[in-house]
Amino acid sequence: METLERESQKMDGVGSFGAGRTGSSVDPIVFVKQPQTILRILSWIFSLVVFASIVNEGYVNMGSERLHCVFNKNADACNYGVFVGLVGLLACSFFALLDYKFASISSVKDRKKAVMLEIGFSGFWAFLYFVSFCFLANQWSRTTPDELPLNQGADAARAAIAFSFFSIITWVRTAKTSTTTKPLQI
């Protein structure tokens, strides 16, 4: 009888896909301290830096009214960086909310779909950040000093490149952490 009680205590709070029992309340302090949440917050911050640095200082005008991208005057580089940063920012917000509400999802099938979506999207977004890092770094290396008088936007360009690289790491770790904290068991 005593071992049965210990087994019951071990099982309390552990449900399908690593979440607590359905309908259990989530402690916000415990939630924020989870590795998954910390990685999500870091990914959100890194996405914000990539997005904001390109939007704020990624375009310069060179004696005309037309704005040019600081990455070798390649508008596609700026557009891609803004897209990856903005969608990453929105996705981090969505998945943070999903992680917070995960305990209230009652269907095991819905939980499995949520976990698979999170793993798939995180892996895919890590790849898109890898492309962003390579593309922005390549275009930045081709930018001549003549194209940026007084180094306008240089710090923002370097920040976008650096935080694209950091984002690769956080998105990969987020996908990996999703598989370990919410194992796909049936």
pLDDT tens-digit series, residues 18-52: 554 555 677 889 989 999 999 999 999 999 999 99
In a domain, 4, yes or no: no
In a domain, 132, yes or no: yes
Q: Which of 88, 178, 72, 80 is nearest to 125 (CA)?
A: 88
Higher local confidence (pLDDT), 152 or 36: 36
In a domain, 5, yes or no: no
In a domain, 86, yes or no: yes
In a domain, 156, yes or no: yes
Domain count, the chain: 1
pLDDT tens digit sequence for 77-105: 999 999 999 999 999 999 999 989 887 88
What is the domain extent for residue 95?
Answer: 30-177
The yes-or-no verdict on residue 14 having pLDDT over 90 is: no
Average pLDDT over residues 110-125: 94
> Cα separation of 144 and 82, whole Å?
22
In a domain, 16, yes or no: no
DSSP 119-175: HHHHHHHHHHHHHHHHHHHHHHHT--GGGSGGGTTHHHHHHHHHHHHHHHHHHHHHH
In a domain, 21, yes or no: no
In a domain, 143, yes or no: yes
The yes-or-no verdict on residue 143 having pLDDT over 60 is: yes
CATH of the domain at 98: 1.20.140
